[in-house]
């Protein structure tokens, strides 16, 4: 019987969920859904000293906003593998049972070294010019552990409740091989692998033991994580082997790093690129630092997810815009790059722009309306209550915007008559001839019975021709008289939307005010 596809996202509640973590969740979700499997949220809270209040709730809210919801796990309903918090699972004795199995088979041992003894060991190794000082098959021979102490001494120490940890016994000079879906075969010599702590002195398991036990117990088929965990993977392979459960070892997929824009180093939550690093706003109580989220910055969740999917993965085609369902259909780990993916803030805004343009004018008007109401509070302007008019504004201004929040700055003149006019355009274009044109075209507009874009454009050109002028000579000036600014959406569509009365009034006001 073929093994059911089951992937987990297993963050630690030590802070806000960084976009790199969201990408891990996204790729796990896509693969699980493509293969009709399960996507699980497990909270790895074994390090209670780093626990941050509110972090777990933030993780759940972020996944919901992104639309990549687990079908099982913390905050999403219990399956037969509950509980999904490691702190709760520890109380059941699950991790201690596996640690005992490793000790009994001779593949793990008790270590009673104090922090002072560990510091002294590191200093000895550094003095001996050891490049990477670590607790391993060589250094452990000079330390206080159950491999160097007699059985009686070990028993006495354990009976006395002497603080200790359980360490993995890594063999000396052995080749460790494993296959990664993204990177192919990885071969590491055990001399490069340290004796990882599996159980801490407080009885809490470390990540190295806990995630393996949970993956076994929860029948996880694929383990997706960041490239930074690649050096630890050989230890994890050994643990599966020593437990006699290599057949239950999930397939590994180590994702490439998300790099800074210049490609120089890993993207950090503290990088100031002008684009958020977190999906939602996050305040870190430990550091008193605030981080702006994609949601609060006006990004659409679909755009954020689309952008994130393209960081390190490519579909093998030129297509860039994908719905979540399309991503599920197209995704494979084989098309994930080995090398790091550069984060591009401008491309990130471009993705949002594409989704903004694809939205209906009605949807955009609904999103824009609260901003309009706020900006027009206390004025007599009422057109923001006219749904058709607001939709028309959205249709015109969305082409040059990345966010709905830019609509007001780009198109406030649709609602408020300008009181100032672009000085550069006035200086360059306003003269006796152009002033005459503005007066003439105003009178011509008054006599129009149909005030469509086509009719007003034809009238505009005919007036210019009558005065011996080219339309280009006065087009920008005409725009400034109506809006106060020298650039904007399609001119005569703007004229049609403003309507005859407003256009005529604004042209007359401009003629009277511009000197």
Rounded distance between C-alpha atoms, residue 126 and residue 134, angstroms: 10
Residue (of 250, 270, 271) closest to 260 by Cα position: 271
Other CB atoms within a 10 A radius of the CB of residue 246 amount to 11
Catalytic residue among 269, 359, 439, 461: 269
Q: Which two tokens stand for residue 239?
A: 């643990």
Would you give the distance in Å from CA 3 to the centre of its chain? 31
Rounded distance between C-alpha atoms, residue 483 and residue 502, angstroms: 11
Task: Name the residue with tokens 């630890």.
Answer: 232
Rounded distance between C-alpha atoms, residue 468 and residue 466, angstroms: 5
Question: Would you say 233 and 254 are in contact if contact means Cβ atoms under 8 Å apart?
Answer: yes
DSSP string, 207-275: HHHHHHHHHHHTT--EEEEEGGGGGGHHHHHHHHHHTT-GGGPPEEEEEPPEEPTTS-SB--TT--SSS
Residues 6+ apart with CB under 8 A from 186: 177, 178, 179, 180, 230, 233
What is the three-class DSSP state of 293?
A: strand
Question: Would you say 257 and 228 are in contact if contact means Cβ atoms under 8 Å apart?
Answer: yes
> What are φ and ψ of residue 237, in 5° steps?
-60, -45
Rounded distance between C-alpha atoms, residue 197 and residue 194, angstroms: 9
Question: Would you say 188 and 234 are in contact if contact means Cβ atoms under 8 Å apart?
Answer: yes
Active site residue 446: no
Residue (of 276, 403, 394, 315) closest to 351 by Cα position: 403
Question: Would you say 39 and 256 are in contact if contact means Cβ atoms under 8 Å apart?
Answer: no
Indicate which residues carry an active-site annotation: 269
């Amino acid at each position: 019987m073929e093994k059911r596809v089951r992937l987990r996202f297993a963050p630690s509640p030590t802070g806000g969920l960084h976009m790199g973590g969201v990408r891990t969740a996204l790729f796990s979700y896509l693969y699980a859904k493509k293969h009709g499997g399960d996507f699980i949220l497990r909270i790895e809270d074994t390090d209670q000293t780093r626990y941050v209040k509110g972090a777990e709730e933030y993780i759940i809210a972020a996944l919901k906003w992104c639309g990549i919801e687990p079908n099982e796990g913390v905050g999403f309903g219990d399956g037969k593998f509950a509980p999904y918090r490691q702190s709760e699972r520890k109380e059941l004795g699950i991790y201690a049972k596996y640690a005992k199995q490793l000790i009994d088979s001779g593949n793990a041992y008790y270590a009673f070294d104090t922090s002072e003894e560990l510091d002294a060991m590191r200093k000895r190794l550094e003095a001996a010019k050891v490049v990477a000082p670590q607790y391993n098959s060589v250094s452990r021979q000079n330390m206080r552990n159950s491999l160097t102490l007699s059985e009686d001494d070990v028993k006495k120490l354990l009976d006395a409740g002497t603080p200790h940890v359980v360490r993995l016994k890594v063999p000396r000079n052995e080749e460790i091989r494993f296959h990664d879906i993204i990177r192919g075969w990885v071969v590491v010599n055990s001399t490069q692998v340290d004796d990882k702590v599996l159980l801490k002195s407080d009885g809490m398991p470390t990540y190295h033991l806990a995630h393996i036990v949970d993956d076994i117990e929860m029948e996880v088929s694929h383990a997706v994580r960041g490239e930074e965990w690649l050096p630890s993977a050989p230890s994890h392979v050994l643990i599966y082997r020593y437990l006699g459960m290599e057949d239950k070892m999930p397939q590994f997929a180590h994702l490439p790093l998300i790099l800074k824009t210049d490609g120089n180093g890993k993207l950090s939550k503290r990088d100031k690129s002008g684009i958020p690093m977190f999906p939602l706003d996050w305040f870190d109580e430990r550091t008193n630092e605030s981080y702006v989220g994609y949601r609060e910055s006006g990004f659409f969740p679909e755009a954020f997810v689309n952008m994130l999917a393209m960081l390190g993965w490519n579909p093998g085609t030129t297509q860039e815009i994908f719905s979540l369902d399309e991503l599920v259909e197209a995704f494979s780990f084989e098309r994930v790059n080995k090398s790091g993916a550069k984060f591009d803030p401008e491309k990130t805004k471009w993705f949002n722009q594409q989704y903004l343009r694809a939205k209906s004018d009605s949807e955009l008007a609904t999103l824009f309306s609260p901003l309009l109401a706020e900006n027009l509070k206390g004025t007599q302007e009422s057109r923001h209550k006219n749904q058709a008019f607001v939709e028309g504004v959205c249709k015109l201004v969305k082409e040059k915007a990345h966010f709905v929040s830019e609509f007001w700055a780009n198109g406030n003149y649709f609602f408020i008559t300008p009181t100032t006019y672009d000085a550069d355009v006035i200086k360059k274009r306003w003269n006796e001839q152009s002033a005459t044109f503005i007066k003439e075209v105003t009178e011509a507009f008054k006599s129009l019975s149909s005030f469509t874009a086509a009719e007003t454009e034809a009238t505009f050109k005919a007036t210019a021709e009558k005065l011996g002028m080219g339309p280009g000579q006065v087009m920008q000036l005409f725009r400034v008289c109506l809006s106060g600014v020298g650039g904007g959406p399609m001119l005569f569509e703007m004229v049609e939307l403003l309507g005859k009365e407003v256009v005529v009034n604004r042209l007359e006001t401009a003629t009277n005010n511009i000197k």
